[in-house]
Amino acid sequence: MAQKYIISACSYADLPASKMQELDVKYICTPYMVNGEIFYDDLGVTTNYEDFYQSIKDGAMTNTFQLNQDDFADYFRELLKDGSDLIHISLSSGLSGVSNSARMALDTMREEFPNQKIYLIDSLAASAGYGLILQTMSNLRKEGMSVEDLYQWVEDNKLNLHHWFFTTDLTYFVRGGRVSKASGFIGGVLNICPLLNVSFEGKLTPRFKIRGKKKVIAEIVEQMKLHAKDGINYNGKCFISNSVCYEDAKAVADLVEETFPNLDGKVQISTISTTIGSHTGPGTVALFFWGDKRVD
């Protein structure tokens, strides 16, 4: 029989709300701003992603700010009040300090609920890579894994989760300060599509500068061939997220399915939701799979 405990996350996981419900994962909605007005990322329940990204193209200024300790304490208290144990997994500490806010709140929860098991994991992941960890956690819970063993499993395996992504439009990376104006200008002129991944520290790391969309799509799948568990015999799940560039995401998915015939189901494509999308802007495709351990 499946173990009874709560798996919790933040909406940085970039899975549809319906998918989170299917996985029975609770999540806290993360805040973002559009032209100074505050909204909360509810994974598409109230937000039309096409409209959101179109507003960015039209010049809207987007920003994010992290949830604080009190926000998390209120959220966790509701989850814990029925006596359940809890395992919360956070966005990578290499990208945000939000995991520290969650940690402080959970320290308080352990004092308020001393008879319950409460765990926090720094995912060292983001977007649908974070989501792929949640999918795996949900499956392991259904198989009957205890909360203690699940916590240890994720800690032991989280660095085997790979994130590779590219952007076809550097405008928003320049706007957010992630790429210099000079590099952004040169990249635009030369049609450069940078290929990045998430390092073992959970930080965004540029790896290759590739000229042209077709070449970067081929290279992102090549990196999966190099790093996926069992190479082209990989039989795990593969997720892709994208910021309103579905055709590019579908091209990657088609090539992955052609290259890896033993995948566990079709590649699942989701939209990068509003919090992370506030930083990427439109034009980003990200690929996630289980593989060898990230060591740099």
Residue 278 has pLDDT above 70, yes or no: yes
Nearest one of 217, 206, 163 to 184, comparing CA atoms: 206
Residue 286 has pLDDT above 80, yes or no: yes
Look up residue 141 and give its two tokens: 């819970």
Place of tokens 């040169």: 186
Residues 113-161: pLDDT tens digits?
999 999 999 999 999 999 999 999 999 999 999 999 999 999 999 999 9
Mean pLDDT, residues 41-56:
94
* Residue 185 confidence (pLDDT): 39
Mean pLDDT, residues 172-177:
59
Q: Of 118-122, 186-190, 219-223, 267-271, where does mean pLDDT reach its minimum?
A: 186-190
* Residue 165 confidence (pLDDT): 94
Mean pLDDT, residues 207-214:
91
Q: What is the mean pLDDT of the chain?
A: 92
Residue 179 has pLDDT above 70, yes or no: no
Max CA separation in the chain (angstroms): 61
Q: Of 15-19, 105-109, 153-157, 210-214, where does mean pLDDT reach its minimum?
A: 210-214
Look up residue 200 and give its two tokens: 């073992």
Residue 191 has pLDDT above 80, yes or no: no
* Residue 186 confidence (pLDDT): 45
Instruction: Report the predicted TM-score, pTM, of the whole model to 2 decimal places.
Output: 0.92
* Residue 189 confidence (pLDDT): 39
Q: How many CA atoms lie within 13 A of 72 on its CB side?
A: 25
Rounded percentage of the chain residues whose pLDDT exceeds 70:
92
The 3-state secondary structure of 89-117 reads EECCCCCCCHHHHHHHHHHHHHHHCCCCC
Residue 177 has pLDDT above 70, yes or no: no
Q: Are 162 and 240 in contact (CB under 8 A)?
A: no
* Residue 41 confidence (pLDDT): 95
C-alpha 239/C-alpha 123 separation (Å) is: 16
Which residues have CB under 8 Å from 247's CB, separation 6+? none
* Residue 174 confidence (pLDDT): 60
* Residue 168 confidence (pLDDT): 84
Residues 232-259: pLDDT tens digits?
999 999 999 999 999 999 999 999 999 9
Report in angstroms the alpha-carbon separations of 235 from 103, 259, 281.
34, 12, 32
- Residue 6 pairs in a beta bridge with 86
Mean pLDDT, residues 186-209:
81
